[in-house]
């Protein structure tokens, strides 16, 4: 009989505890906000430290993978919702898609456990080794195959809260390392005075994060007089409505009427979401099209309209080149002129493009997942400068997940934008936790860069977010209306906007030192 069984701990109990650890950590994330769930990381560390048997690496991998399944099922269950848009043909795929993505993401946690176990796990300093292993793998999850950095542990804290302000120092990955180290510390509390010191230090670090954030938030600058007035349009157009030709005219009319709603002050810039009009930009903005005439009529001379849609590149290419784009228009005396174009750079794998497209086509997978020829990736990000608007960095939907995206664009262009425009089509996710999670994740980009963000979605949550990640005004899921708000001020460049992931790399170096030093000493 094994030692575990002798203590009455059965393998199924261990497996259940692993799933509970991951699910608890996920429930700490917005919109659930059950912060005691962060102790799930301490439970996972304890379970990894108690691996027994002649295959410890295999057991550690399995335990962490089970915890990852618990985490990602809670975090990503909304992935089933897009398949309900065409439920008759694709609804059956929903459970398989959620299971496949969850299992794939869980493998990253299993790999992190292998790194942790390979360190030797000596002393109470192993808390930092655990934090380093899992934070490093979370970074990898955010980069491999374009990455999927959804619900990083560092983004557990509601954006705009005091603790979230640490992202201005070290970014979401640095805050992930800090969060994991603090949350895992209780696992060593019973290990004498050293364990108690570690727990006390983690508590002090948490208090320090709250204090730093509170001081930072207290220094918020006022909105500048004469700041551009932004209007965000949320037309509450459900995704399934976009596939009904009979509703096309009413969708256009809804956006047009909302855009010209009366206001005490005329908006300078109007923002429509990604895929606002369910047609190609080349078609509905063609000269002579009634849709162009209506859109022109929605604007007053001098007003700028930012809208998202797909457009064709080289019409002679086979298959055709299609971009998911943000277009900037300005109304003149009688028509609109295109001021700028941004083509989405980071595409959604299996949604907007299929990895290994040629091989997938030969195997028949391409038809199975209904991706088609997909979109083409645009050039690397750069801020957009247009007459009538402060320079801004466009982020289309998925791109708001990536720490450093705006920083990369500023470095490439040689100048920093004044704000971030995030257009998204969260209508795909219905009334689930997905849009609320997306709002929280996107708001971290404002904190990291010290820049305000304007976010437009067709069904919510649309928001005007200040440079601290706080929504100053928002339209909830399922709401129809507009937000009129002066553009919040930008802050001075943050340490993260200057240094990028260097602080995070330093944190990983600390974890590596704790892993290597005991071996060298021995």
State the pairing for strand pair 481-486/471-475: unpaired
**pLDDT above 60: residue 260:** yes
DSSP 8-state secondary structure symbol assigned to residue 493: P
Per-residue pLDDT tens over the stretch 378-389: 899 999 999 989
pLDDT at 89: 81
Among this protein's residues, is 69 annotated catalytic?
no
Per annotation, catalytic residue among 274, 399, 448, 449:
274
Per-residue pLDDT tens over the stretch 82-130: 888 888 888 888 898 899 999 999 999 999 999 999 887 678 999 999 9
Q: In whole angstroms, what is the distance from residue 188 CA to residue 196 CA?
A: 8
Among this protein's residues, is 344 annotated catalytic?
yes
Assign a CATH topology to domain 229-345+380-490: Nitrilase/N-carbamoyl-D-aminoacid amidohydrolase (3.60.110)
Per-residue pLDDT tens over the stretch 213-250: 999 999 888 888 889 999 999 999 999 999 899 999 99
| Angstrom distances, CA of residue 301 to CA of 255, 269, 331, 335 | 18, 12, 5, 9
**pLDDT above 70: residue 343:** yes
Per annotation, catalytic residue among 344, 352, 366, 448:
344
Per-residue pLDDT tens over the stretch 366-413: 333 344 457 888 899 999 999 989 999 999 998 999 999 999 999 999
Per-residue pLDDT tens over the stretch 26-77: 999 999 999 999 999 999 999 999 987 778 899 999 999 999 999 999 999 9
Question: pLDDT band at residue 1, thresholds of 50, 70 and 90?
Answer: very low
Q: In whole angstroms, what is the distance from residue 322 CA to residue 315 CA?
A: 9
Structure token pair of residue 347: 């595409």
Per annotation, catalytic residue among 352, 397, 448, 449:
397
Among this protein's residues, is 274 annotated catalytic?
yes
State the pairing for strand pair 419-423/453-456: parallel
Nearest to 491 by CA among 224, 187, 164, 158: 224
First and final C-alpha spacing in the chain: 33
Per-residue pLDDT tens over the stretch 141-168: 999 878 899 999 999 999 999 999 999 9
Q: In whole angstroms, what is the distance from residue 519 CA to residue 522 CA?
A: 5
Q: Give pTM, 2 decimals.
A: 0.93
**pLDDT above 50: residue 495:** yes
Per-residue pLDDT tens over the stretch 171-212: 999 999 999 999 999 999 999 999 999 999 999 999 999 999
DSSP 201-269: HHHHHHHHHHHHHHHHHHTPPPPPTTPPEEEEEE----GGGGG-GGGHHHHHHHHHHHHT---SS--SE
């Amino acid at each position: 009989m094994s030692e575990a069984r002798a203590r009455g701990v059965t393998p199924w109990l261990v497996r259940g505890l692993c799933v509970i650890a991951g699910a608890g950590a996920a429930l700490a994330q917005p919109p659930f906000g059950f912060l005691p769930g962060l102790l799930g990381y301490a439970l996972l560390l304890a379970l990894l430290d108690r691996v027994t048997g002649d295959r410890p690496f295999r057991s550690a991998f399995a335990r962490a993978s089970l915890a990852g399944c618990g985490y990602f099922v809670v975090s990503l269950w909304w992935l089933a919702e897009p398949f309900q848009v065409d439920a008759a043909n694709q609804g059956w795929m929903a459970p398989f898609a959620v299971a496949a993505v969850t299992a794939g993401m869980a493998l990253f946690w299993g790999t992190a456990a292998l790194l942790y176990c390979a360190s030797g796990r000596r002393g109470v300093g192993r808390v930092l080794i655990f934090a380093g292993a899992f934070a490093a793998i979370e970074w990898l999850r955010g980069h491999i195959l374009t990455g999927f950095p959804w619900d990083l542990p560092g983004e557990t804290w509601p954006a705009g809260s005091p603790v979230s302000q640490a992202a201005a120092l070290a970014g979401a990955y640095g805050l992930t390392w800090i969060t994991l180290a603090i949350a895992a510390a209780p696992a060593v509390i019973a290990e004498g005075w050293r364990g108690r010191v570690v727990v006390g230090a983690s508590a002090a670090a948490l208090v320090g994060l709250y204090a730093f954030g509170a001081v930072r938030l207290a220094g918020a600058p006022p909105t500048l007089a004469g700041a551009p007035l932004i209007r965000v349009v949320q037309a509450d157009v459900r995704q399934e409505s976009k596939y009904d030709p009979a509703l096309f005219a009413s969708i256009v009319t809804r956006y047009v009427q909302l855009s010209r709603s009366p206001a005490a002050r005329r908006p300078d810039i109007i923002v429509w979401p990604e895929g606002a009009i369910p047609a190609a930009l080349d078609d509905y903005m063609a000269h002579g099209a009634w849709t162009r005439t209506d859109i022109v009529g929605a604007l007053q001379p001098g007003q700028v309209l930012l809208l998202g849609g797909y457009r064709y590149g080289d019409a002679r290419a086979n298959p055709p080149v299609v971009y998911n784009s943000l277009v900037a228009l300005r109304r003149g005396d009688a028509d609109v002129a295109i001021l700028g174009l941004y083509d989405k750079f980071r595409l959604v794998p299996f949604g907007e493009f299929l990895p290994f497209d040629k091989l997938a086509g030969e195997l028949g997978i391409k038809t199975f997942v209904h991706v088609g020829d997909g979109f083409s990736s645009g050039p690397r990000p750069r801020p957009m400068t247009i007459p009538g608007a402060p320079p801004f960095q466009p982020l289309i939907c998925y791109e708001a997940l990536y720490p450093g995206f705006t920083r990369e664009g500023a470095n490439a262009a040689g100048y920093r934008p004044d704000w971030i425009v995030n257009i998204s089509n969260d209508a795909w996710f219905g009334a689930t936790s997905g849009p609320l999670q997306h709002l929280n994740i996107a708001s971290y980009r404002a904190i990291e860069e010290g820049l305000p963000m304007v976010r437009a979605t067709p069904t919510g949550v649309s928001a005007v977010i200040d440079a601290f990640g706080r929504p100053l005004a928002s339209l909830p899921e399922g709401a129809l209306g507009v937000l009129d708000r002066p553009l919040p001020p930008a802050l001075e460049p943050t340490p993260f906007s200057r240094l990028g992931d260097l602080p995070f790399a330093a944190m990983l170096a600390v974890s590596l030192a704790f892993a290597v030093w005991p071996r060298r000493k021995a």
